[in-house]
Structure 1
Amino acid sequence: MFKFFALLLAVSAIALAAPNQKSTREASACDTSACSLPSCRCLGTDVPGGLDPSEIPQLVLLTFDDAITALNYDTYFEPLFFDRTNPDGCVVQSTHFMSHEYTDYSKVQQLHAHGQEIALHSITHEPYIDYWNNLDVEGYIGEFGGERELVAHFANIPAEDIQGARVPLLQLAGDTYFEAFDTADLGYDCSWPTQSYMDPPLWPYTLDYLSNQDCPIGTCPKQSYPGRWIQPMVNWLDTSGYVCSMVDSCVFAPTETSEILEWIKTNFNRHYLSNRAPFGFYVHAAWFQRNANNLEAYSQFLDYLATLNDVYIVSVQRALEWVKNPQPLSSLSNVWPSCPNTYTATCNARSCPLSKGAELRYMMQCRNSCPNVYPWLHNPLGN
């Protein structure tokens, strides 16, 4: 029986996405005869395509929240990911749910150029639960649709490559948030923890129909959002049996490298040895600074995964490509005919001194000229 203490810590987590077309249809129970891949999937722990777990890849999702800085890039992201490959020879991927403040947009482009996924975590990243609970649809569109415009512009990357979102503090705001998510035409949300679907873990699904997923944080949506995907945040268990959605919010976690590694493997095996639903390692880069052993154990875990020829470390977008077109390990080229796109970054980084209230910010970005004012909510280009 899973304990519920960690719900009190959920505020030290992260959040979600934005919208495209206003839904006016109340969601009904999922009709399996009408909901089929690649555009629709009912909520469930069953393996997509009816495949046996032993014949499919175990997909691993490594995500990070908050600002992308030169320090995080140079110290963690480049050393951890750029020289590792999956069994098919393609680069391993991470997904970065980035917030705007303190981000170095030249590093955003470099991550994107190395095949890593860039996703949204809001412009303001307000730290107050009430802000997200009381925000209206237009506010959410500004936070996430506006951030997509901001990131694409100042990192000089295609807006269509930015498909995912996570709400700060994981504060789902029900239909208010998902109406904005739909209107902003985002592809998937990854801010929705589950403790009811941990063993076996929950697979991704769409919001065409009413979701039966538990909402331990925030409010569940009730309307239908066809084709909008949920990558559920399947909770971990800490060493005392309490649930946690973000790894750095786990209260009773080991501190020695070998014990941290075994703890990670225990949570991984709940996926790998059952239905092989995507295994999420959701964390903030600050977790590495908290204890040097965390970084060492993380690196050793990646080394361990490299010894398993049926494990693929991919972006959330690439994982969803498999869910939409499930294939056995022997036919993965039918899902992924090529490796993630990589290229040589061309950002000529420019540091822009800009006032944000009484503070002076130095915004590192990739445009030839600086914005007139510090980019912010409802003025994402700083005009």
Structure 2
Amino acid sequence: MGVKVAILFAIFAVALTEALETAEPCDPSKCQLPDCRCASTNIPSGLRAQDTPQFITITFDDNVNTQNIATYREVLYNRRNKNNCPIGATFYVTHEYTDYTLVNELYNEGFEIALHSISHKSPPSYWATASVEELKQELGDQITQMSTFANISESSIKGVRMPFFQMAGNNQFQVMAEAGLTYDSSWGATNSINPGLWPYTLDYASPQECNIGPCPNASLPGLWVSPLLAWVDNSGYTCTMVDSCYSSPGPQDDRGWLEFIIRNFENHYHGNRAHFGFYIHEAYFTSHPAAKRALVRFLDLVDNLYDVFVVNASEVIEWVKNPIPVDEYLKQSCKTNDRRECASKICGPYKSDHSEYEQEYRLNICSSCPASYPWVGNPLGLDKSN
């Protein structure tokens, strides 16, 4: 376990045993930026919509491998926003079958690496009832695992997306606080989408609908929720992930897909400019190649808009903490990750008893080869025989 995470776990150990206070309705006079924000569709600091940057957050879930990296390179690399900063994207990564040398590559390109649990265990009910200790092993330990095997900074890992978008109540956010994480990106918003719900903190009670509970009800100061603002499909139904929309264009319908993306984008751009999310699993592009082509075309189009920025998810929250108008945002210096070298190693084969199938695992990592296959409870694959 990294020193940072170990110290934080120790600091919060006593707090875990204490009952949390139930959150009260938010008082805007007491809850003020940069550290606190009531859940609201109001634009931060009262900016006018036309003066507010329109942020786009593109996110991908699950493992990073040699197949999907080709899409990321094709769609995301070598693009810049109007402020001449590279565009962003956020990857919510699981452990199994992840090539950590490619995670290192994404990090060095300036993209955000975030948590999606070590195991992504089924069924969803596992996460709904997960204890603090279980969530520590899945999320807190994943920070150590990710930073070690991909050789990226622990402090750069700020966000969590729970498997299946299954919230884990107060336990989830307690563990996030212990581990030094900043925000959750699991909580779907299907009601507050036009106008959209801006990111907010959990110092006070959240009025956001709880579709996949349990949702937190305690006062959890300083922890942010980045609501997953739903799309509206072609039949008027809401959908959180692009690949979960019931009524979407056909697999080869390039025009239909572009119009679908633009229509949902304009709900934000011509509204209160809450962040527009393109949340997807990369594998969907295999069965729906028109969706990928339309995304590329969409990015080309919004590149012509001076007030639209494709950013990492954590950058939206940083802006909400200290909101500034578009003309000032354009002048800000670019945020970059500290580049980390990767001394690539291919490790294995390993056997692991976590899977019901007889299989061997290999690891592509940026560190020394572990003694055993890393998994929940032993995130670094240490030799525990001694």
**Same-fold call, TM > 0.5?**
yes
Equivalent in 305, 308, 327 of residue 302 of structure 2: 305
Residue matched to 2:88 = 93
| Residue deviations 1:62-92 (CA, integer Å, cap 9, x gap) | 000000112211x211121121100000000
Contact between 2:345 and 2:366, CA under 8 Å: does it hold in 1? yes
Deviation string 1:261-281 (CA, Å, 9 cap, x unpaired) is 101111111110010001111
Q: Which amino acid aligns with 2:363?
A: M
SS across alignment from 1:70: coil
Q: Hey, what's the Cα distance between the residues in 2 that align with 1:185 and 1:27?
A: 21
Query: Structure 1 residues 224-233 or 285-294, which shifts more?
Result: 285-294
Aligned-pair CA distance for 1:183: 2.1
Determine helix, strand or coil for the equivalent of 1:363: strand
1:31-51 Cα offsets, whole Å, 9 max, x none, are 111111110000000000100
> Percent of counterpart pairs with the same letter?
40
- Partner Cα distance (1:79, 1:322) in 2: 28
**Structure 2 residue identity aligned to 1:295:** K
Does the alignment pair 1:36 with 2:35?
no
State the Cα deviation string for residues 155-197 of structure 1 (Å, max 9, x = none).
0111010000000000112112222222222100000001110
For 2:340 and 2:181, how far apart are their aligned partners in 1?
25
Secondary structure of 1:119's partner? Answer: strand
* Equivalent AA in structure 2 for residue 51 of structure 1: L
- Does the 8 Å CA contact 1:170/1:218 hold for their aligned counterparts? no
CA RMSD of aligned residues (A): 1.5
User: In structure 1, what is the equivalent of residue 326 of structure 2?
Assistant: 329
Counterpart residue type for residue 170 of structure 2: D
| Distance across 1 between alignment mates of 2:212 and 2:272 | 25
Stretch deviating more after TM superposition (214-223 or 103-112): 214-223
Q: Residues of 2 paired with 1:39 and 1:343: CA distance?
A: 26
SS in 2 for 1:351: strand
2:381 alignment partner in structure 1: 382
Work out which of the residue numbers 194, 201, 204 in structure 1 matches 2:196. 201
Range with bigger deviation, 106-115 or 170-179: 170-179
Q: Which residue of 1 aligns with 2:359?
A: 359
1:344 CA displacement? 5.3
Contact 2:240/2:279 (8 A) holds in 1: yes
Mapped to 1, the partners of 2:131 and 2:114 lie a distance apart of: 21
C-alpha contact 1:114 1:343 (8 A) present in aligned 2: no
Structure 1 segments unaligned to the other structure (5+ residues): 1-17
Q: Which residue of 2 aligns with 1:68?
A: 64
Write the letter of the residue equivalent to 1:301.
F
- Please list the CA deviations of residues 81-138 of structure 1 after superposition, one character each: whole Å capped at 9, or x if unmatched: 1211000000001000000000000000110001000000000001311211221111
| Pick aligned residue for 1:338 from 333, 344, 362 | 333
Shift of residue 342 of structure 1? 4.8
Q: Which amino acid aligns with 1:93?
A: G
Closer, same or farther: CA 134–220 of 1 in aligned 2, 3 Å: closer
Matches within 5 A, 1:210-249: 210-249=205-244
In the alignment, the residues of structure 1 paired with residue 310 and residue 82 of structure 2 have an alpha-carbon distance, to the nearest angstrom, of 10
**Residue number in structure 2 paired with 1:275:** 272
Question: Aligned-pair distance for 1:141?
Answer: 1.2
Other structure's SS at 1:185 match:
coil
TM-score (norm 2): 0.91
Q: Which amino acid aligns with 1:313?
A: V
2:121 pairs with 1:126: yes
CA distance in 2, matches of 1:114, 1:338: 16
Give the paired residue count.
362
CA distance in structure 2 between the partners assigned to 1:290 and 1:348 by the alignment: 35
What amino acid maps onto 2:27 in structure 1? D
CA contact (8 A) 2:83 2:330 kept: no
Give the superposition deviation at 1:217.
Answer: 1.3
Cα distance in 2 for residues equivalent to 1:65 and 1:116: 14
What is the rounded CA distance, in whole Å, between the counterparts of 1:322 and 1:342 in structure 2?
17
Rounded Cα–Cα distance in structure 1 between residues aligned with 2:320 and 2:120: 30
Paired residue secondary structure (2:201): strand
Aligned 8 A contact 2:173 2:223 in 1: no
Q: Which amino acid aligns with 2:359?
A: E
Unaligned 5+ runs, structure 2: 1-7
SS at match of 2:67: helix
CA apart distance, 1:333? 5.9
- The whole-number CA distance in structure 2 between the counterparts of 1:300 and 1:87 is 17
Q: Which residue of 1 aligns with 2:177?
A: 182
Contact 2:199 2:320 in 1 (8 A): yes
Shift of 1:348: 2.1
Residue among 279, 288, 291 paired with 2:288: 291
Distance 1:203 1:344, change over 3 A: closer
**Which position in structure 2 is the counterpart of 1:9?**
none
- Which of the numbers 161, 177, 180 marks the counterpart of 2:156? 161
